[in-house]
Amino acid sequence: MTEASSITSVLSTALRMKMDTPFHIDFDWWEHQRREYVFYMRSHLCEEHQYKFVSEEDDDDQMLDWVDSRTGQVCRLDYLHYTLRTHCAIHPEFLTKRASLVDVIFRLFIANGNQPLTVTELALRIGREGQEKTIFRTLADESLSKGLRPVQSGSGTNV
């Protein structure tokens, strides 16, 4: 992406967003980039599962039903995502491990079941109060966003 088009992309996204806009991981966005999805999701696995997934030839395509412990709502997740959410994400270091801003936010959404959060809430949860504008700018830049996007009105499921 050229610099000009990158700026245009940032501006057009920012125009649609406000500081109180809730964000989440848009898994529809990832649908179109399956290879990158697998690679990126694997990078968040814990050591035990990094090894396990590398040793397996391919990811299991079977979808699993993940039940939200608060609401009883069911999300259909692939094996990789299910493992991340039910195993790796409950390790204390999942959120505290040194990582880029985008990666930390992505992990937070994995850990909270992709419950939408505003920039202010994100800053608070990841211990970066006062850096709301940086977070906002990062999320506004679609080239960096890793599918972290504003919640579209009317979207009912989190996944």
CA angle 57, 58, 63 (to 5 degrees): 145
Say which residues have a Cβ less than 8 Å from residue 79's Cβ, sequence separation at least 6: 59, 60, 61, 62, 64
Number of residues engaging other proteins in binding (CB under 8 A) = 20
Tell me which amino acid residue 102 is: V
- Phi and psi dihedrals of 157, rounded to 5? -105, 155
> Considering the rule CB under 8 A, would residue 67 count as an interface residue with other proteins?
yes
Are the C-beta atoms of residues 29 and 147 closer than 8 Å to each other? yes
**Of 4-12, 42-50, 68-76, 143-151, which part binds other proteins (CB under 8 A)?**
68-76
Q: Which of 55, 72, 92, 98 binds other proteins (CB under 8 A)?
A: 72
**Of 18-26, 40-48, 57-65, 120-128, which part binds other proteins (CB under 8 A)?**
57-65
> Considering the rule CB under 8 A, would residue 71 count as an interface residue with other proteins?
yes
Q: Which is nearer to other proteins, 55 or 62 (CB)?
A: 62
127: alpha, beta or left? (left if phi > 0; alpha if psi -120 to 50): left
Secondary structure (3-state) at 116: coil
Longest dimension (CA), the chain: 46
Q: Which of 14, 17, 64, 144 binds other proteins (CB under 8 A)?
A: 64
Q: Which of 33, 73, 96, 100 binds other proteins (CB under 8 A)?
A: 73
Q: Which of 55, 70, 92, 98 binds other proteins (CB under 8 A)?
A: 70
Q: List contacts with other proteins (CB under 8 A).
A: 62, 64-67, 69-76, 82, 86, 130, 154-157
